[in-house]
Amino acid sequence: MCIFNTSNLFKILYLNSRVNEPVFTASLMENDAYDRIGDEPPNYEETSFSGGTTSNGNGTGNGEHRAVRLSVVSAFGHDTLDRVPNINFYRNAGSVSGNRAVRPSLQELHDVFQKVSVCNGRISVTNTVEDREGSDGTPSDDVESVIPLDNKDGAVRFGWIKGVLVRCMLNIWGVMLFIRLSWVFGQAGWGLGIVVIALSCVVTTVTGLSMSAICTNGVVRGGGAYYLISRSLGPEFGGSIGLIFAFANAVAVAMYVVGFAETVVDLLKENDAIMIDELNDIRIIGCISVVLLLGISVAGMEWEAKAQIGLLIILLVAIANVFVGTGIPASTDKKSKGFFSYDVKIFMENLPPDFRDGETFFSVFAIFFPAATGILAGANISGDLKDPQDALPKGTLLAILITGVTYLGIALCVSATVVRDATGNINDTIATGMDILVPFCNGTNIAACEQGWNFSSCDVNSCKFGSMNNFQVMTMVSGFGPLITAGTFSATLSSALASLVSAPKVFQALCKDNIYTALKFFAKGHGKNNEPIRGYVLTFIIAVAFIIIADLNVIAPIISNFFLASYALINFSCFHASYAKSPGWRPAYRYYNMWLSLFGAVLCCGVMFVINWWAALLTYAIEIFLYVYVTVKKPNVNWGSSTQAVTFVSAVNNALSLTGVEDHVKNFRPQCIVLTGAPKNRPALLDLAHCFTKNYGLCLTSYFQSWLPKTLNNVKASGLGRLKPNILMMGFKKDWRTADTAGVQSYVGVLHDAFEFEYGTVVLRMNQGLDISHIIKAQGEYTHTHAHTHTHQCIKYSSLWACDINRAGLTLLLPYILTTRKKFKDCKMRIFIAGQPGRAEMKSLLEKFRIKYADIHVIDDITQNPNSNSWKMFEDMIEPFRLHEGSKSTTLAEALRKDNPWKISDAELDTFEEKTNLQVRLNELLQENSRAANLIIVSMPIARLGSVSDHLYMAWLDILTKNLPPTVLIRGNHKSVLTFYS
């Protein structure tokens, strides 16, 4: 175990206020996009730098807080152009359209004093990013552009119980529970019947685990399975499965309504009240039922939810009634219909399978499996949940457990009390004496025979009763039959209602994304819950079309393949995202396994073929056709899919593999090197494939990126496609105090280039290499830790990570990536924050980003003066490079500045007094908290172009990282690298 610790010192880009008088005035003006700086310029007092030195920089004793200037009050009690961490900076990243809040760019911060534009006393920087071309400018153009739900719009939002658990249970406890479960166990026997339920639960549980991982990898919007798959695998897979899944839910409405109609027709038949005939009566009752359900759905989610609760109560009572009924001694009438009290011989007789009428294990499984498809009922209304990330895993998996146990319990109880065949004739009895029973009790129905009933005629003629023949066995078994009828109505209608709601919402989400432009008509919503009225009507039409089939055993296998295809892709999405190892794959739900998800995907595909091979081929043909269609159409969306991540990784690996391949004449490719004069008289060597540099080390790619394509067709600078650098990494120049001036200028010049062209910048300092055992030994409190000090081993001690989430989160992302690697997987991160935001805000933000951390510490004494020893160390560090013009005459001072423009002036030290003090103080805090760290990651101060001298900037970096374990200074490029969107 090592503690890979982090300190979120939201440092340190202060407003440099006294560069020269004209710029000084502009720098204090307010920028609408940034924090308010103040209406009046600050009053500066003479500092210690003007006339000499003091022990701590401002004449105050150690432990006192520095006087705070009005120009620097914000994250650390100082004002700065940097914004403190704000959730709005991470909204809508990658959105198709819509406005979003932005922080200042790195280039704006780098040369804000060189390129400020003054307008009405303000620095002009926009607050928002412009909409992309083709947008109508409304925030609802796509789901990512909508601000996360806070329930201020009056819309109905559900928690995990009402929105997921109840909905999933009702959908799983569907038509099969009371109408087909006894038939399934009659055909398969309870031995294979358990396998049927277990196999269904394995498929749904693995899918539930995969879904939980995906839906906790960011904010989940409306669209259910479509949303999860499309945001993970991309629009091609999402668009194809979205249509199939919406259609499957629409057909499921028909399946559940037909189950309800069958029950009603059986009641009519018992009372000689058939209207036309059984088949047409099912059609009539089914169509009337779906019209009523449509009315409830159109009334809104609130009415639908209330109806679901009522149906759940009825269903729970009915289920309890079954268990109670199996324990009540059977009456003569019930015995004639095959129901007896618990009997071991009946139970064992029902153990082996007895497939009839051409049924097989897989055909029976195909009929039962739709009972398990309700696991996505909660996910399908993800847009109506208060907290989908918390609700979906908890509610879905608990629903699978509860319903699985319920199905198994009821099935076993029925198998122990009901025989497969019975005549229903109360006169089919025989004497109960053993001598009389022996001649009769052979062949089939031995258990019933030993109970004194002769059902041997069922071997010759078909009987109407028993678990194999009567779909209303549950009614007979129960303590009070009408309750089972009510439970059947409840189970079927609740499942139908859930599917009737799910199909339009999934379809609406698909249409909103405009994957299929012809379907944009169905994207429109109505009311405070954005109800898809048009989708309801379309679902109604599809449901009626399948209700006309009026045969449950025909409809059920049709949707099994569609649901299985959806489940397969959900599992594959989880596997693929894990396999891609994208930094954006950080699910908060940890109880999943990529190989288990792959197994689930393969299992779903296999089950599809064994259920119905031609239906499976048809499903895949439709899916492939839709996939190709979306691929050709190329919708204007970019969701950061795992498909892109794998493509990127493959490209990098293939490019690296070429390094070991010798050149061959047949594979010659021209790779031009263009030598140019770079801007600002900095000569640079530009290589179209690689970057080499002269003097300043960094090729000025951004400058040529816009010029080259105009000059050379299809030519891009620095890299190929997306394979281009975005981070500059370099080592710390430890000899800056002894190196010549040109060397220091060249080193800092590289950093200036990186800042100007908005590269992320990483500087690594290792004072004594990677072996820090001497530091560990110096601290007695860590003597109990392991003695391993090699770089690939973790030591159990704390470390510090200075993180900089308000500048794109690179300082969070890089340590996280390290912890995903084998050598660092046991490392932990402690986060230290100073000033704003507070611990609660930071904790909330990290939870949204799914970043694991050991603890968050708030540093409340960041503005305290550094101690005299630390300050003396810094003064000695910069002494050889100071002008000390404050103590000299004006003429001599001007001459010194002219002859040594690179030296540190008293005015410069005065201007950056607060920033200088902060670097020294931060080093003290780092040593106090993180001397035993494996690695320290801290935000790198930026050098204002033309404002901070090279030697002062190097002194900042030096004093900040001095006498510490391996330390990484990181400066992001102010482009988001973290998002809380799925």
Burial of 936 (0-12, 13-18, 19+ CB in 10 A): buried
Residues 721-735, mean pLDDT to the nearest whole number = 81
Residues 387-397, mean pLDDT to the nearest whole number = 89
Which pLDDT band holds residue 96 (cuts at 50, 70, 90)? very low
**Distance of alpha carbon 297 from alpha carbon 292, whole angstroms:** 9
| Claim to verify: residue 697 and residue 767 sit in the same structural domain | yes
Quick check: 951 pLDDT over 90?
Answer: yes
Q: Higher pLDDT residue, 342 or 308?
A: 342
Phi then psi dihedrals of residue 978, to 5 deg: -125, 145
pLDDT of residue 72: 36
- Domain span including residue 553: 160-433+440-633
Burial of 663 (0-12, 13-18, 19+ CB in 10 A): exposed
| Claim to verify: residue 251 and residue 363 sit in the same structural domain | yes
Weakest-pLDDT range from 40-54, 325-339, 786-800: 786-800
pLDDT of residue 107: 64
Round the CA-based radius of gyration of the chain to a whole number and report it.
Answer: 36
**Token pair belonging to 229:** 């798959």
Of 486, 196, 158, 104, whose CA–CA distance to 300 is shortest? 158
Which stretches of 445-520 are assigned E, i.e. beta strand?
none
Q: Is residue 128 part of a domain?
A: no
Last-in-domain residue among 612, 633, 654: 633
**Distance of alpha carbon 286 from alpha carbon 500, whole angstroms:** 14
Which pLDDT band holds residue 672 (cuts at 50, 70, 90)? low
**What are the pLDDT digits (tens) for 498-519?**
888 888 988 998 998 888 888 8
Classified as helix, coil or strand, 833 is strand
pLDDT of residue 378: 85
Most confident of 145-149, 150-154, 362-366, 439-443: 362-366
Contacts of 653 (CB under 8 A, 6+ apart): none
Longest dimension (CA), the chain: 134
Q: Is residue 258 part of a domain?
A: yes
How much of the chain is helix, strand and coil, in % rounded to 5? 55, 10, 40
Residues 415/193, Cβ–Cβ less than 8 Å: yes
pLDDT of residue 154: 59
Residues 806/10, Cβ–Cβ less than 8 Å: yes
Which pLDDT band holds residue 26 (cuts at 50, 70, 90)? very low
pLDDT of residue 105: 66
Q: Higher pLDDT residue, 11 or 479?
A: 479
- Supply the DSSP symbol for 358: T
pLDDT of residue 88: 61
| Claim to verify: residue 599 and residue 677 sit in the same structural domain | no
Q: Is residue 294 part of a domain?
A: yes
pLDDT of residue 86: 60
Dihedral, CA of residue 844, residue 845, residue 850 and residue 856, to nearest 10: -70
Q: Is residue 103 part of a domain?
A: no
Last-in-domain residue among 633, 653, 681: 633
| Claim to verify: residue 188 and residue 334 sit in the same structural domain | yes
Amino acid identity of 337? Answer: K
| Claim to verify: residue 175 and residue 256 sit in the same structural domain | yes
| Claim to verify: residue 194 and residue 313 sit in the same structural domain | yes
| Claim to verify: residue 551 and residue 687 sit in the same structural domain | no
HSE at residue 633, side-chain half, CA atoms within 13 A, is: 18
Residues 836/80, Cβ–Cβ less than 8 Å: no
Judged by phi (left if over 0) then psi (alpha if -120 to 50, else beta), residue 845 lies in alpha
Contacts of 604 (CB under 8 A, 6+ apart): 203, 207, 564, 565, 567, 568, 571
Host H or E run for residue 968 = strand 967-971
Residues 406-434, mean pLDDT to the nearest whole number = 85
Host H or E run for residue 937 = strand 936-939
DSSP string, 81-140: SSPPP-GGGGTTTT-SS---B-PPPHHHHHSTTTS--EETTEE---SBPPPPTT----TT
pLDDT of residue 104: 63
| Claim to verify: residue 604 and residue 684 sit in the same structural domain | no
Contacts of 729 (CB under 8 A, 6+ apart): 761, 762, 763, 764
Q: Is residue 43 part of a domain?
A: no
Residues 359-367, mean pLDDT to the nearest whole number = 86
| Claim to verify: residue 694 and residue 548 sit in the same structural domain | no
Quick check: 661 pLDDT over 60?
Answer: yes
Weakest-pLDDT range from 151-160, 168-177, 883-892: 151-160
| Claim to verify: residue 605 and residue 698 sit in the same structural domain | no
| Claim to verify: residue 604 and residue 753 sit in the same structural domain | no
**What are the pLDDT digits (tens) for 253-312?**
998 898 889 888 988 888 888 888 888 999 999 999 999 989 888 887 777 778 888 888
**Token pair belonging to 926:** 């780092």
Classified as helix, coil or strand, 320 is helix
Q: Higher pLDDT residue, 701 or 512?
A: 512
Q: What is the pTM of this model?
A: 0.73
Q: Is residue 512 part of a domain?
A: yes
Quick check: 821 pLDDT over 70?
Answer: yes
Residues 235-258, mean pLDDT to the nearest whole number = 88
Domain count across the chain: 2
Residues 22-49, mean pLDDT to the nearest whole number = 31
Host H or E run for residue 406 = helix 388-415
Which pLDDT band holds residue 203 (cuts at 50, 70, 90)? very high
Token match 């500045």: residue?
Answer: 897
Of 474, 486, 498, 497, whose CA–CA distance to 316 is shortest? 486
| Claim to verify: residue 615 and residue 738 sit in the same structural domain | no
Quick check: 183 pLDDT over 50?
Answer: yes
Q: Is residue 956 part of a domain?
A: yes
Token match 């819950």: residue?
Answer: 529
Q: Which CATH number is 524's domain given?
A: 1.20.1740.10
Residues 519-531, mean pLDDT to the nearest whole number = 84
**Distance of alpha carbon 981 from alpha carbon 144, whole angstroms:** 7
Of 799, 298, 310, whose CA–CA distance to 504 is shortest? 298
- Supply the DSSP symbol for 276: S
HSE at residue 216, side-chain half, CA atoms within 13 A, is: 21
Burial of 595 (0-12, 13-18, 19+ CB in 10 A): exposed
pLDDT of residue 187: 92
Which pLDDT band holds residue 415 (cuts at 50, 70, 90)? very high
Residues 568-593, mean pLDDT to the nearest whole number = 88
Quick check: 941 pLDDT over 70?
Answer: yes
- According to DSSP, the residues that pair with 920 across neighbouring strands are none
Quick check: 407 pLDDT over 90?
Answer: yes
Quick check: 804 pLDDT over 80?
Answer: no
**Distance of alpha carbon 980 from alpha carbon 94, whole angstroms:** 12
Residues 156/163, Cβ–Cβ less than 8 Å: no
pLDDT of residue 177: 84
Residues 538-553, mean pLDDT to the nearest whole number = 88
**What are the pLDDT digits (tens) for 622-631?**
989 998 998 8
Of 960, 956, 969, whose CA–CA distance to 922 is shortest? 960
**Token pair belonging to 673:** 């090197």
Quick check: 29 pLDDT over 70?
Answer: no
Which stretches of 737-829 are assigned E, i.e. beta strand?
760-765, 767-770, 827-828
Quick check: 681 pLDDT over 50?
Answer: no
Which pLDDT band holds residue 831 (cuts at 50, 70, 90)? confident
- Give the distance, in angstroms, between the CA of residue 516 and the centroid of all CA atoms in the same chain: 25
Residues 697/746, Cβ–Cβ less than 8 Å: yes
Q: What mean pLDDT value characterizes the chain?
A: 74
pLDDT of residue 68: 41
Quick check: 791 pLDDT over 50?
Answer: no
**What are the pLDDT digits (tens) for 859-869?**
877 878 899 99
pLDDT of residue 396: 93
Distance set, CA 31 to CA 81, 116, 118, 180 (Å):
8, 10, 10, 69
Last-in-domain residue among 584, 612, 633: 633
Token match 């969107």: residue?
Answer: 981
Weakest-pLDDT range from 62-76, 552-566, 652-666, 744-758: 62-76
**Distance of alpha carbon 326 from alpha carbon 967, whole angstroms:** 71
pLDDT of residue 50: 39
Q: Is residue 107 part of a domain?
A: no
Residues 548-572, mean pLDDT to the nearest whole number = 84
- Supply the DSSP symbol for 161: I
pLDDT of residue 615: 84
Residues 570/229, Cβ–Cβ less than 8 Å: yes
Phi then psi dihedrals of residue 657, to 5 deg: -65, -25
Quick check: 134 pLDDT over 50?
Answer: no
Contacts of 197 (CB under 8 A, 6+ apart): 368, 404, 407, 408, 411
Which pLDDT band holds residue 844 (cuts at 50, 70, 90)? confident
pLDDT of residue 136: 34
Residues 72/44, Cβ–Cβ less than 8 Å: no
pLDDT of residue 193: 93
Of 199, 227, 253, whose CA–CA distance to 558 is shortest? 253
